[in-house]
Chains A and B, each alone.
Chain A
Amino acid sequence: MTQITPALIAEHGLSEDEYARILAMLGRPPSLTELGVFSVMWSEHCSYKSSKRWLKLLPTKAPWVLCGPGENAGVIDIGDGQAIIFKMESHNHPSFIEPYQGAATGVGGILRDVFTMGARPIANLNALRFGAADHPKTRHLLAGVVAGIGGYGNCVGVPTVGGECGFDAGYNTNILVNAMTVGLADAGRIFYSAAAGPGSPIVYVGSKTGRDGIHGATMASAEFSEEAEAKRPTVQIGDPFTEKLLIEACLELMATDAIVAIQDMGAAGLTSSSFEMAAKGKVGIALDLDRVPTRETGMTAYEIMLSESQERMLMVLKPEREALARAIFEKWDLDFAVIGTITDGDRYVARYQGSVVIDLPVAPLASAAPEYDRPQAPLPAPAVIPAAAIAPAHDPLAALQQLMGSPDLASRRWIWEQYDHMVMADTVQRPGGDAAVVRVHGTAKGVALACDCTPRYCEAEPVTGGRQAVAETWRNLTAVGARPLAITNCLNFGNPEKPEIMAQFAGCLTGMRDACEALAFPVVSGNVSLYNETNGVAIPPTPTIGGVGLIEDLAHTASLALKAAGQALILIGGQEGPGWLGQSLYARQIAGLNDGAPPPVDLAHERRSGDFVRALIQEGRVATCHDIADGGLLVAVAEMALAGNMGLSLTLEGIAEANRHAWLFGEDQGRYVIACPATEAAAVIALSQRAGVAACVIGRTGGSELTLEGLGAISLAGLRDVHEGWMPGLMAAPATEA
């Protein structure tokens, strides 16, 4: 038997304290396989040991929430006996090491989390963060990640309908790949992971087990160093074709009554899936590892238990249904193996090649997992920078042009044209708008989907950043006319053992809590990704939010594209003061100022203006709407003009010259621009007064230019060239030395 040495314990990412806990629990040293089990089960990735206490802050309940955090994915009710199941998950570390496979298997993993619960996946989204555009690795990583996401999602035939992508030097050596899947299920047929029924067979289906991805969960729970690339063997290889077969076979089986419990083998593979099923069901497990289908010879028990080979599922079946289930998987040419049984009691016992390799108590392993209240360091409060302290733009249209062609705001078409965003033939609003809209197949209902986070706000002031990430997601769903229902999230941060990182985490979570409560927008699933650091430098705090909203009637939605000439442009939500430029893209890109406080998020105002706009859309008064976010008002209207290929003119009446830049580029929150027939404008303004929401006409649609009255005009064609040209130009440029 392998001697368990301090070096081996450290290699498994376990602290001395944690190992002492293991000895106390077992009354003996663990076997090597058992050490591996503890290593992954108590890793940050699987145990949430640093984050758990803060995650409890988040509201998780609402009348429409059918299942909150704790299962494979969250479940919400969308009426008519239908449910939406969704979750977001990170695959950051693997994607940096091997971008194509890292990103591809990220998509595969999140798809499994969703169809495991009985849903047919109907949409994928992704939120990506790369280093500076001119960093030597960025283009390689961007190309690989996008190809990997497309390669997987396109092949399984689930449309990739939206997401976001950002560039910042803070991600130079720690990119973020957050993938979200949304599925549709019968509300009465949701599948859970709690095992039950002693004597029931435990069945392994899908791909065979290989040596790939061993210790992926542990890798995802440690900082990087220069040697990161040497970890390439811990990145898994994706097989989207097998995943597609697995989806079809599982859904076919789920239409029967054969399944007692089901769980996908994701991070920490067979170990995590089997322990979770046993712990949730308060039963024991007896596994025969000799029966696990393997694709390599000579695999050890340790390797079988810790492999993260993809496209595998674990199920507990009703004994009398085993033959029926086997026939379905054989039809789809997938492996089907009974590898164990559910037992009475609390022991997890695994045998391999004639000996017992694991004999552990189930409940203590799960409940005795460490939980930390890690110390925080107070963060300095950023100063509020008045607009007057930020240099005005002598030529606002030139500033607009510069912003529209900047890495933050340039078109992402190069990315989403590599994703099949139309397969399944229900994509009503394609990528490029505020939220994607996917029809609920065979109905007139739709779901709106969006991903958001503004890391520079989170870095400047975590509480405000946390609020803003949730509020902006809510706003994007509102802007297409949807009623926002719930969110999932990926909480990407640095090393939680550092007090300042822990303070960022706690701050963002507090802000998210505030916004979720104020907007009745609960969290139903999520994922935490810590240790996003290389050589001691952390990423900007990035709590990515993925939101789902419901559109009851697709006849009443809005999109950002301007649709007709002669319409009135109305600013909804107004702002206090001249406009907030602190942490704006204008301040960063045009004035070269990176510090200062981000715009405050007044959640009562957010809710009022959003509810007002949504009502206008649902009543059919407004079909054109865009929220104001990065870049401010002028960027928002420019995006509307480009999307509709329709010019517009803005009035600057009543705006003092000294405040013009703040009005045009301020990033005050809770605001929208709508377009409606000019004859309707007075009625909309009257309604806004009754609703207590600021609204004013700021311009008119028409022509082929974007005009600032009294200042000049810019052609849409020129603006489009700049906006569309940046990313293709970046990716087509000759290779640089990496």
Chain B
Amino acid sequence: MNTGVIVFPGSNCDRDVAVALARAAGRPPVMVWHKETALPPLDLIVVPGGFSFGDYLRAGAIAAHSPVIRAVKDRAATGVPVLGICNGFQVLTECGLLPGVLMRNRDLRFICRDVDLRVDNAAWRFTAGYREGQVVRMPIAHNEGNYFADDATLDRLEGEGQVLFRYCTAEGVVNDAGNPNGSQRNIAGIINASRTVLGMMPHPERVADPDLGGTDGIAFFAGLMTALQ
């Protein structure tokens, strides 16, 4: 299994996801610098969390125009799976691989805490480690995680089963009380129409080690690796 992690200036979860990938895949990922214009052969491309280019213009906006993203889009077009976590999700929406946009959190504050997520669709490889309806716990850590798209897009995402994760209460109820950042329809993670690109705000790599207060990320990466084989 060849995995690769894209590294922008300002990425800061690159090492964290590399550790989780190495553990799940049995070998470390290739770290790809943002100035690269070509990618090595990869079975999975990960766009990690952080503050690419300081997020100074708009989260993910500058990274979306970096040379490596052109190569990522080309590779995605051939069906290579792409996973964007947190800032990675923001980059994937900014570069057009995923619909919608991540706006500032409802309360206009950065939020770092564990949240409960309902796995809405376990039929795809990205959620192969879970069962449908399962409630999993992962941390979020973001200032701009408030997912927004127009109603037609949201209806389509829901109708096509492209919503994989929704914020929910500990009991699995999807409601306002379980929504930490104001996301439309409690959306925490979506895939594209061809089911090859996943963007999610929560951080599975932060709960992929029993020492770190959670293990729900282990099943995420293990399931993904199995599904990709």
In the complex, the answer to whether B213 meets A430 with C-beta atoms within 8 Å is yes
Q: How far is the CB of B227 from chain A (nearest CB, A)?
A: 23
User: Which of A215-223, A414-422, A514-522, A541-549 lies at the binding interface?
Assistant: A414-422
Q: How far is the CB of A557 from chain B (nearest CB, A)?
A: 10
Residues of chain B contacted by A417 (CB below 8 angstroms): 111-113
Residues of chain B contacted by A147 (CB below 8 angstroms): 109-110
In the assembled complex, B171 has its CB within 8 A of some CB on chain A? no
Of A242, A422, A554, the contact of B112 (CB 8 Å cutoff): A422
Given A333-B9, A418-B110, A430-B213, residue A425 in contact with residue B54 (CB < 8 A): no
In the assembled complex, A244 has its CB within 8 A of some CB on chain B? yes
Of chain A, the residue at the smallest CB distance from B55 is A155
Q: How far is the CB of B5 from chain A (nearest CB, A)?
A: 14
Q: How far is the CB of B85 from chain A (nearest CB, A)?
A: 12
In the assembled complex, A427 has its CB within 8 A of some CB on chain B? yes
Which positions 138-157 of chain A face chain B at CB distance < 8 Å? 147, 150-151, 154-157
Contact pattern, B 202-219, Cβ under 8 Å of A = 1, otherwise 0: 010110110111000000
In the complex, the answer to whether B51 meets A428 with C-beta atoms within 8 Å is no
In the assembled complex, A129 has its CB within 8 A of some CB on chain B? no
In the complex, the answer to whether A423 meets B51 with C-beta atoms within 8 Å is no
Contact pattern, B 8-31, Cβ under 8 Å of A = 1, otherwise 0: 011011011001100000000000
In the complex, the answer to whether B9 meets A419 with C-beta atoms within 8 Å is no
Q: How far is A176 from B9 in the complex, measured between Cα atoms in Å?
A: 32
Q: How far is A418 from B213 in the complex, measured between Cα atoms in Å?
A: 19
Q: How far is A332 from B139 in the complex, measured between Cα atoms in Å?
A: 30
In the assembled complex, A540 has its CB within 8 A of some CB on chain B? no
In the complex, the answer to whether B9 meets A244 with C-beta atoms within 8 Å is yes
Residues of chain A contacted by B53 (CB below 8 angstroms): 241
In the assembled complex, A368 has its CB within 8 A of some CB on chain B? no
Chain B interface size band reads: 20 to 34
Which positions 417-455 of chain A face chain B at CB distance < 8 Å? 417-428, 430, 439
Given A244-B12, A430-B213, residue A425 in contact with residue B206 (CB < 8 A): yes
Q: How far is the CB of A414 from chain B (nearest CB, A)?
A: 9
In the complex, the answer to whether A157 meets B50 with C-beta atoms within 8 Å is yes
| Cross-chain pair count, CB within 8 angstroms | 84
Q: How far is the CB of B14 from chain A (nearest CB, A)?
A: 9
Q: How far is A240 from B56 in the complex, measured between Cα atoms in Å?
A: 10
Chain A interface size band reads: 20 to 34
In the complex, the answer to whether B211 meets A423 with C-beta atoms within 8 Å is no
Residues of chain B contacted by A667 (CB below 8 angstroms): none
In the assembled complex, A245 has its CB within 8 A of some CB on chain B? yes
In the complex, the answer to whether A423 meets B13 with C-beta atoms within 8 Å is yes
Of B51, B209, B212, the contact of A154 (CB 8 Å cutoff): B51
Q: How far is the CB of A105 from chain B (nearest CB, A)?
A: 15
Given A155-B54, A244-B10, residue A423 in contact with residue B109 (CB < 8 A): no
Q: How far is A113 from B113 in the complex, measured between Cα atoms in Å?
A: 29
In the complex, the answer to whether B141 meets A423 with C-beta atoms within 8 Å is yes
Residues of chain A contacted by B10 (CB below 8 angstroms): 155, 241, 244-245
Residues of chain A contacted by B13 (CB below 8 angstroms): 157, 423, 425
In the assembled complex, A239 has its CB within 8 A of some CB on chain B? yes
Q: How far is the CB of B137 from chain A (nearest CB, A)?
A: 13
Q: How far is A547 from B61 in the complex, measured between Cα atoms in Å?
A: 40
In the complex, the answer to whether A422 meets B212 with C-beta atoms within 8 Å is yes
Given A241-B54, A417-B112, A422-B112, residue A156 in contact with residue B12 (CB < 8 A): yes
Of chain A, the residue at the smallest CB distance from B18 is A425
Of B51, B112, B209, B211, the contact of A155 (CB 8 Å cutoff): B51
Q: How far is the CB of B87 from chain A (nearest CB, A)?
A: 10
In the complex, the answer to whether B110 meets A420 with C-beta atoms within 8 Å is yes
Q: How far is A155 from B206 in the complex, measured between Cα atoms in Å?
A: 17
Residues of chain B contacted by A423 (CB below 8 angstroms): 12-13, 16, 49, 141
Of chain B, the residue at the smallest CB distance from A239 is B54
Q: How far is the CB of B49 from chain A (nearest CB, A)?
A: 8
Which positions 23-42 of chain B face chain A at CB distance < 8 Å? none
In the complex, the answer to whether A241 meets B51 with C-beta atoms within 8 Å is yes
Which positions 143-178 of chain A face chain B at CB distance < 8 Å? 147, 150-151, 154-157
Q: How far is A155 from B211 in the complex, measured between Cα atoms in Å?
A: 24
Q: How far is the CB of A195 from chain B (nearest CB, A)?
A: 30
Interface centre among A419, A424, A425, A554 (most CB of B within 10 A): A425
Given A241-B9, A427-B212, residue A154 in contact with residue B141 (CB < 8 A): yes
Interface centre among A154, A422, A424 (most CB of B within 10 A): A422
In the complex, the answer to whether A419 meets B112 with C-beta atoms within 8 Å is yes
Q: How far is the CB of A584 from chain B (nearest CB, A)?
A: 32
Residues of chain B contacted by A426 (CB below 8 angstroms): 212
Which positions 511-530 of chain A face chain B at CB distance < 8 Å? none
Q: How far is the CB of A461 from chain B (nearest CB, A)?
A: 39
Q: How far is the CB of A646 from chain B (nearest CB, A)?
A: 17
Which positions 52-75 of chain B face chain A at CB distance < 8 Å? 53-56
In the complex, the answer to whether A425 meets B56 with C-beta atoms within 8 Å is no
Q: How far is A487 from B56 in the complex, measured between Cα atoms in Å?
A: 36
In the complex, the answer to whether B15 meets A424 with C-beta atoms within 8 Å is yes
Q: How far is A437 from B57 in the complex, measured between Cα atoms in Å?
A: 35
Q: How far is the CB of A115 from chain B (nearest CB, A)?
A: 14
In the complex, the answer to whether A241 meets B56 with C-beta atoms within 8 Å is yes
Q: How far is the CB of A255 from chain B (nearest CB, A)?
A: 16
Of chain B, the residue at the smallest CB distance from A155 is B51
Q: How far is the CB of A99 from chain B (nearest CB, A)?
A: 15
Residues of chain A contacted by B205 (CB below 8 angstroms): 425
Q: How far is A423 from B53 in the complex, measured between Cα atoms in Å?
A: 17
Residues of chain A contacted by B203 (CB below 8 angstroms): 422
Residues of chain A contacted by B113 (CB below 8 angstroms): 417
In the complex, the answer to whether A425 meets B12 with C-beta atoms within 8 Å is no
Which positions 107-151 of chain B face chain A at CB distance < 8 Å? 109-113, 139, 141, 143
Given A244-B10, A245-B9, A439-B211, residue A424 in contact with residue B16 (CB < 8 A): yes
Contact pattern, B 79-102, Cβ under 8 Å of A = 1, otherwise 0: 000000000000000000000000
Q: How far is the CB of A728 from chain B (nearest CB, A)?
A: 10
| Interchain Cβ contacts under 8 Å between A and B, 20 examples | A150-B110, A151-B110, A154-B51, A155-B10, A156-B12, A157-B51, A240-B51, A244-B12, A244-B51, A244-B54, A417-B111, A418-B109, A418-B111, A420-B141, A422-B112, A422-B141, A422-B206, A422-B212, A423-B16, A426-B212
B-binding residues in A (CB < 8 A): 147, 150-151, 154-157, 239-242, 244-245, 332-333, 416-428, 430, 439, 554
* A244-B10, A418-B109, A425-B13 known, 7 other contacts, Cβ within 8 Å: A155-B54, A155-B55, A239-B54, A241-B51, A244-B12, A423-B49, A426-B212
Q: Which 3 A-B pairs have the closest CB atoms?
A: A157-B12, A241-B54, A425-B16
